[in-house]
Amino acid sequence: MAKFRGAIVVDTDRCKGCGVCITACPLGVIELAKEVNSKGYNYSFMANPEKCIGCASCAVTCPDGVIKVYKKAL
Amino acid sequence: MSEITLQDIIQPENLVYEKSKLLTDKRFHYCPGCGHGTVHRIIAEVIEELGIDEETIGIAPVGCAVMAYDYFDVDFQEAAHGRAPALATGIKRVWPNKVVFTYQGDGDLAAIGTAETIHACNRGENITMIFVNNGIYGMTGGQMAPTTLEGMKTATTPYGRKPQWEDGTPNNGFPLQITKLVAQLPGTRFVTRQAVYDAAKVRNCKKAIKKAFQNQMENKNGVNFVEIVSNCNSNWKMSAVDANKWLQENMLPVYPLGDIKDNFELINK
């Protein structure tokens, strides 16, 4: 069992849907949404929230800094 | 244990990462997946961590990052094309206590600004230079830059960059290794090459940029030069993820990562 649970909050309106966070995530938590934001980009979202450990790999690679990461020890 | 909900995790006390406060709320105009955004973010984080936001003066280039002054909440000055090191020299000499950094792309630093770059490095100005190299002129539509790889297709080399014709007569020239070149000059203290395509590389790059700023804060003489090998997915005509993969396969053999010079001593590799 993971010792940490994490969560990300994506600023969906600023996300440009480049997909860099998806390859950066070691656990396959993130996917691109089918819906688009006001700029027409498919924003990223937490598709598998139970897998997230809050490593922040997605946030440090995000070119637009739209991801906030939360981490809680169990 | 398993009853923990997302609402329990998403609480202010559990926050471990967010965008630096030194970046304004303005949206980056960069293409999706562009390395410029990542580099902006880590520079802002370094300035915030070192607590030098009141003392820092940045020099914005001409190129894709021309509007960098809109994104950082620190003092900024816009330079004429390629002249950022000259402007940084002037500002640093007038205000020796300020932390001055230039932010330039390969078209700015390695093409039109080669003279300024070489002479600022040769004089050993106490400045930090951030050089984002994506091997192409991004802003003007993907023309060949001096740093373009051999065989790379651009708008002005549609059949790929060919340094020489078969009989040896010159054609497009070879990729310019400007970072290796400035490392040879006696005025550079710290020269390194980094990348931002994955999380580990971003963290290494942040350490290098931090060191480049710290050297300047400690009044250690010499230029601190950080090259960042980055992508240009729009002009390479790829998705952001493919561009990062292409970068690893093609850019890194020509521009290998790592420190090239530290404390005025070349690191042999």
Pairing verdict, β A67-73 and A42-46: unpaired
Number of domains in chain B: 1
Q: How far is CA B236 from the centre of its chain?
A: 18
B53 located within any domain: yes
Instruction: Collect all residues with Cβ–Cβ distance below 8 Å to A46 and sequence separation of at least 6.
Output: A7, A8, A10, A29, A30, A52
pLDDT by residue (tens digit) across B71-112?
999 999 999 999 999 999 999 999 999 999 999 999 999 999
A64 at interface of B, judged by CB pairs closer than 8 A: yes
What's the CATH number where B152 sits? 3.40.50.970
A5 at interface of B, judged by CB pairs closer than 8 A: yes
pLDDT by residue (tens digit) across B169-211?
999 999 999 999 999 999 999 999 999 999 999 999 999 999 9
Of B10, B233, B241, the CB nearest to A70: B10
B24 located within any domain: no
Binned at pLDDT 50, 70 and 90, residue B2 comes out as low
Interface mutation vs chain A, best among B7, B11, B16, B201, most A CBs within 10 Å: B16
Residues of B with Cβ-Cβ distance to A49 under 8 angstroms: 6
What is the spatial distance between Cα B160 and Cα B113, in angstroms, rounded to a whole number? 24
B237 located within any domain: yes
Structural contact between residues B33 and A20, judged by C-beta atoms closer than 8 angstroms: yes
- Which residue segments constitute the domains of chain A, with CATH numbers given? 4-73 (3.30.70.20)
Which residue, among B79, B185, B68, has the nearest Cα to B125 in the 3D structure? Answer: B185
Q: Which two tokens stand for residue A1?
A: 């069992």
Q: How far is CA A51 from the centre of its chain?
A: 12
B219 located within any domain: yes
Range of the domain at B190: 30-266
Using only C-alpha atoms, what is the Rg of chain B? Answer: 19
B5 located within any domain: no
B67 located within any domain: yes
Of A1, A22, A41, the CB nearest to B32: A41
What is the spatial distance between Cα B89 and Cα B86, in angstroms, rounded to a whole number? 5
